[in-house]
Amino acid sequence: MTHRQLGTTGVRVSPLTLGALNFGKKTPQQYEDSKAVLHAALDAGINIIDTSDSYHAGESEEVVGEVLRERGRDDIVVATKFNRPNGDDPNRRGNSRRWIFHAVDASLKRLGTDWIDLYQAHRPDPDTDIAETVDALTDLVRAGKIRYFGTSTFQAHELVEAQWAAADRRLNRPVTEQPPYSILVRGIERAVLPVAREHRIAVLPWSPLAAGWLSGKYPDAGGPEWSRRLARQPHRADPSNAANQDKAAAVRELTRLADEAGLSLIHLSIAFVLQHPAITSAIIGPRTVDHLKSALDAPQAVLTTDVLDRIDAIVPPGTTVNPTDDGHVPPSLTDPALRRRAVPSSG
């Protein structure tokens, strides 16, 4: 694979990142599949693995760690994340210095390594000053526990605030952002991607196949795979949802376009993501080696201007067909107290 520079770091990564969301040890089959996918991805030239301390309660990191020991650590770029709740205690989550220092040591232990290449805030934390987070992560770089740090699903203004906080305090700055991005989820084109280009932030988008909608299997929506998705995220998979009906209509048009272009829908979809100049590497999350193999050649596909224009006609730039696919809804939209002035009770 032709490697791409990770922002301003000088580190070079493959255009596909192996996402470890599906890796775990819940069953012997899941464990064996997880290790097989990891080895196959590394054999194919993928050199960056993205996991999180929240994936299968840390089991994903453990499986990645086992493969690191089997394959050797030095040539693999390991990315993981913190922020998600880890128990009922209110301090075992978020982006505070206290939790970051605890979480990084736990991740290092599960991964069986002395350092993490890229440590990412899994979501914004409105209760913690971004300067505290950047300061704590800078200390981890100086301590040698992490090499770089980044963010995931931050809004454009939050990316800028993090850059300003780092510059103002002469701290290390976040070098990556990990947002959702696909043909069906194009909201980040409005502001996040322009901001990332302006500040030379590497972008590692997740779900380029829109949680399976662009895998070419949507017509089998009644199968076991879709049943799992429906149970896990009904708002994103329920075919009776009006927004999901719009997604289904778009998928049918995109499938026809892929056929006309001589591509699989998977290759069309991943190539679309990789062709944006702000994108560094697309995160794919295969459960099996066959899933992995179906995506490996996607970086070699080049979409013509005509094909890109037709994609824009199906899903206009900056549009997320189902807004719930944006990955994170800020408290300013979910908490009425943040968008309404206090008024006397009507009682």
Backbone angles phi, psi at 187, to 5 degrees: -60, -30
Q: Map 222-291 to HEC letters.
A: CCHHHHHHHHHCHHHHCCCCHHHHHHHHHHHHHHHHHHHHCCCHHHHHHHHHHCCCCECCEEECCCCHHH
pLDDT score of 219: 57
Q: Which residues of the chain have pLDDT under 70?
A: 218-231, 345-347
Query: In degrees, to the nearest 5, what angle opens at C-alpha 135 toward C-alphas 133 and 136?
Result: 65
- What is the C-alpha separation between 200 and 194, in angstroms, rounded? 10
Q: Could you confirm whether 55 is annotated as catalytic? A: yes
- What is the C-alpha separation between 109 and 86, in angstroms, rounded? 16
Domains parsed from the chain with CATH numbers: 4-212+272-300+315-338 (3.20.20.100)
pLDDT score of 344: 73
Q: Which residues pair with 202 in a beta bridge?
A: 176
pLDDT score of 332: 84
pLDDT score of 223: 67
Q: For 315-330, what is each residue's pLDDT tens digit? A: 999 999 999 898 888 8
326 by Cβ neighbours in 10 Å (0-12 / 13-18 / 19+) ranks as: middle
On average, the pLDDT of the chain sits at 94
Which of 55, 119, 148, 181 is catalytic? The answer is 55
- What is the C-alpha separation between 55 and 29, in angstroms, rounded? 17
